[in-house]
Amino acid sequence: MNLLEVKHLKKHYDTHKAVDDVSFDIQQGSIFGLLGPNGAGKTTLLRMITGIFYPDEGQIIFNGQKFNPENDVQYIGYMPEERGLYKKMKVGEQTLYLAQLKGLSRKEAVQKIQYWFDKFDINSWYNKRVDELSKGMQQKVQFISTVLHQPRLLILDEPFSGLDPINSNLIKQEIFNLSQQGTTIIFSTHRMEQVEEICDHIMLINKGHKILDGSVKQIQQDFKQGLFKVGLGTMPNPAQMATYHFNIVQTHDKAFTVKMNEDSSTNDILLHFIRQDISVTYFEEILPSINEVFITQVQQTENSNAPVAALPLA
């Protein structure tokens, strides 16, 4: 079941189209990665999903019904990239206040705060003022205040920026936990290694347009280039390597990266080595990283979108 369906969403500013006809669905309980370079329209898109902005055109369906910001914000937790807390307020009061604004009763809020403060082992911070905490500590408090009301949709914009590896891991673990409990998560970033690790599904946008969208595995399959790495017992002499089935792209120490011809199969490659009596120690497919897909796709759209600017002035 889809928790969120976005249909032909558009948002224009005076001078440019921040989001131009973007559609996608997010399955309940999945972790959805929203990727794009700076200024791609990610924040505008998220602000529309959180009810901060109204779309110019298009529709947002939340939990099977037309999105109603007034009521639905209580089911959404949003940690914006530009985050902050009231600096002079005490940590406990602050989380209580933010939880109550999300519709929790005082009693519920206190219970939930206790649960999370125990979990992160930060009970001693309760009466500290926010500006007495380090940036990383503030980030933890921010995360807690985002998830306190058990949102059905959790939106995290660059959740790991400014966190050390230990705290990054802690938050990452919580993201997985929440996802297992059925929370749907939108995860916006431009750190690709995290995307491959965390997300089930990704969408890439640039200049307000959706460029691609699919599961991480599917995208890697779609963009693979027939590259394989073959580990060898002994390095053959070049004469032994003449074949129709593949070209050597790169030579390593006791290994080759090869590009397979389109009408050949992996067994053709293996057979070649076996016939030459070269022992194969390992054989693996090289899938493109999301990072590579991201860069090539962004570059392609940049070029196709701005052909005029690319022409020489002569």
Size of the site for other proteins (CB under 8 A): 29
Shortest distance in whole angstroms from residue 206 CB to other proteins? 21
Shortest distance in whole angstroms from residue 50 CB to other proteins? 5
Interaction of residue 78 with other proteins, rule CB under 8 A: yes
Among 26, 31, 85, 144, binds other proteins (CB under 8 A): 85
- Kindly state the tokens that stand for 196: 């491959």
Q: Name the one residue in this structure whose structure tokens are 């602050």.
A: 94
- Interacting span for other proteins (CB under 8 A) from 51-59, 108-116, 187-195, 230-238: 51-59
Interaction of residue 133 with other proteins, rule CB under 8 A: no
Strands of the chain (E only): list them: 2-12, 17-27, 31-35, 57-62, 65-66, 76-79, 153-157, 184-189, 201-206, 209-215, 227-232, 246-252, 255-260, 280-286
Identity of the residue, 46 or 199, whose beta carbon is nearer to other proteins in the bound complex: 46
Interaction of residue 145 with other proteins, rule CB under 8 A: yes
Q: Name 246's Cβ contacts closer than 8 Å, sequence gap at least 6.
A: 228, 258, 259, 260, 261, 264, 268, 269, 272
Interaction of residue 205 with other proteins, rule CB under 8 A: no
Q: Name 124's Cβ contacts closer than 8 Å, sequence gap at least 6.
A: none
- Kindly state the tokens that stand for 123: 């009970």
Among 80, 92, 159, 208, binds other proteins (CB under 8 A): 80
Interaction of residue 274 with other proteins, rule CB under 8 A: no
- Interacting span for other proteins (CB under 8 A) from 19-27, 70-78, 178-186, 224-232: 70-78
Among 5, 21, 25, 56, binds other proteins (CB under 8 A): 56
Neighbour tally for 14: CB within 10 Å: 4
